[in-house]
Amino acid sequence: MEGNQEVAQLWKECLDEAKARIPTSFVPMIAPLWPLSLQNGTLKVGVPSPFAKDFIESRFTDTLNDILSSKLGYSAKVVLTVSSPPEITESIAAGARIANVDEQEEPVIRERPAHGHDFHQKRYSFDNFVVGDSNKFAYNASLMVAEAPGQYYNPLFMHGGTGLGKTHLLLAIKDYAEKLNPEIKVRYVLTSLFIDDFIATATLKKDKAAFDQKYINNKIILFDDVHSLSGTEATQNKFFEIFNLLYSSNSHIVLTSDRPPEEIPKLSDRIKSRFQGGLKIDIKPPDIETRLAILRMKARAERVEMPDDAMLFIATKAVTNIRSLEGLFNQVVAYARVYGMKIDLQMVKERLRDQPAEPNQLRTPTVETIQNLVSDYYKIEKADLTGSSRSRALVHGRHVAMYLCRELTNETLISIGSKFGGRDHSTVLHSCRKIESKIRESSSVLEEVRELTSTIHKTT
């Protein structure tokens, strides 16, 4: 993956997926970026100005890292660097060469071997969604929304852990509804960007009516990750107003969240009760059959041969998150392609030997494990970690521990709070936010969190 062409293509693929995942109004911000290099899991990408860098970093760091990691199959990050324009960077030159090859009329032998990476934009549709016991209700209800919007189960609220296909289902609803009726208006809205959009409209004195119209004027609206509404009062009022208008005009409202409505902290009761007024479905981690079916589908789509025992091995390594399952699969396939190897059990074992997390049946770490490892790491007593002392070193360790619990376990803020000496969920949320902002500001805190995460995964 060090070659310029490979890097250019990798970036192109990331960009394609990012375009599908971020609101169209922000696409022009990321489209002009160009790849510079890939080293040790860091993809350096050029941006034209410090403004663009700040803007993109503040909004899309997680999305870009997430996309890149899933392409590479290991935890990787995108780092933006303000640099000279693309014409004179080598990687873009390589990318342009590829484009020219594609444009030639005569068939040419492509520089990439025929079995090289098949870079394509991931489509999220019902056809490539594997249905099993864990997600069949969510699948069927989503299908019904696309086929008969506004008629049954409104609103549809789907909740479940990360990487279980919530976003996939929302985008599949859009894909299918638009196929059935090309005139239909369907809008996918990532809730955190709705919040940004609302705040920008309010503070920059932008056209408020246009804001409302954008959201109201839809037959189907898909609000992804509504747990982000937590604790944003003015936004919640606006959201409530828009929700009611949509509902009364018989538009279908579909919502996803990482937890059920009653567990979303600081969500107003009236919104909670609206969320509960339709159909609420939880999506569970996939069973082994479903995981194998997903791998088989991916192998077919990528046209790779993978024996059953090798698939089984991968399927037992990623248990609670389909994104990780795909990551492991991609990693094996990429390796086999780069080295021209056949995929068999031995090779897969070898390749995934050092995989953190999902090994050992990927058990989610417990709050207790995290507390123990964090106390060891910062050399503080566990009782102090959950206690009430306000000494600086203790407070930092405590915040990091709560942050890691929020990130790595499936526990709710309420339950995490109770395991940290009966703290309130809002205190936990506040601590997590503290660490999120420290991570952004200080590379040493980022490093601490990274080291701890890796230790926790190894221990679990």
272 interacts with, out of Mg ion, ligand ADP, none, CB within 5 to 8 A per kind: none
Q: Please give the residues from 86 up to 125 whose contact with ligand ADP meets the rule CB under 6 A.
A: 124
In angstroms, give the least distance from the CB of 60 to ligand ADP. Answer: 15
Strand partners, 43: 38, 78
- Nearest to Mg ion of 59, 166 (CB atom): 166
Q: Judged by CB, which is closer to ligand ADP: 274, or 298?
A: 298
Nearer to ligand ADP, 258 or 448 (CB): 258
x-marked contacts with ligand ADP along 324-353 as a string, rule CB under 6 A: --x---------------------------
User: Interface residues for ligand ADP in 148-167 (CB under 6 A)?
Assistant: 162-167
Looking at the Cβ atoms of 166 and 187, the one nearer to Mg ion is: 166
**Residue nearest to ligand ADP according to CB distances in the complex:** 165
User: For residues 343 and 305, is the Cβ–Cβ distance under 8 A?
Assistant: yes
Shortest Cβ distance from residue 432 to ligand ADP (Å)?
A: 18
Reference 177, options 129, 142, 223; nearest CA is 142
Using rule CB under 6 A, residue 369 touches ligand ADP: no
Alpha-carbon Rg for the chain, nearest whole angstrom, is 23
Residue 34: strand pairing partners: 46
Of residues 234, 245, 228, the one with CA closest to residue 190: 228
Among positions 11, 34, 60, 129, the unique one binding ligand ADP when judged by CB under 6 A = 129
Supply 177's token pair.
């509804």
Q: Report in angstroms how near the CB of residue 407 gets to ligand ADP at its nearest.
A: 13
In the list Mg ion, ligand ADP, none, the entry touching 168 (Cβ below 5 to 8 angstroms by class) is: ligand ADP
Evaluated on CA atoms 58, 62, 67, 72, the torsion sign reads: positive
Q: Of 193, 292, 322, 343, which one interacts with ligand ADP (CB under 6 A)? A: 322
> Of 411 and 448, which has the nearer Cβ to ligand ADP?
411
Please choose which of ligand ADP, Mg ion, none residue 162 contacts, taking the beta carbon within 5 to 8 angstroms, the exact cut-off set by kind. ligand ADP
Q: Give backbone dihedrals phi and psi of 187, rounded to 5 degrees, phi first.
A: -125, 130
Which residues bind to Mg ion, rule: CB under 5 A? 166-167
Q: How far is the CB of 168 from ligand ADP (least distance, A)?
A: 3
**Which partner from the list ligand ADP, Mg ion, none does 173 bind, CB cut-off 5 to 8 Å by kind?**
none
Report the site for ligand ADP in 276-315 (rule: CB under 6 A): 294
Binding site for ligand ADP (CB under 6 A): 124, 128-130, 135, 162-168, 294, 322-323, 326
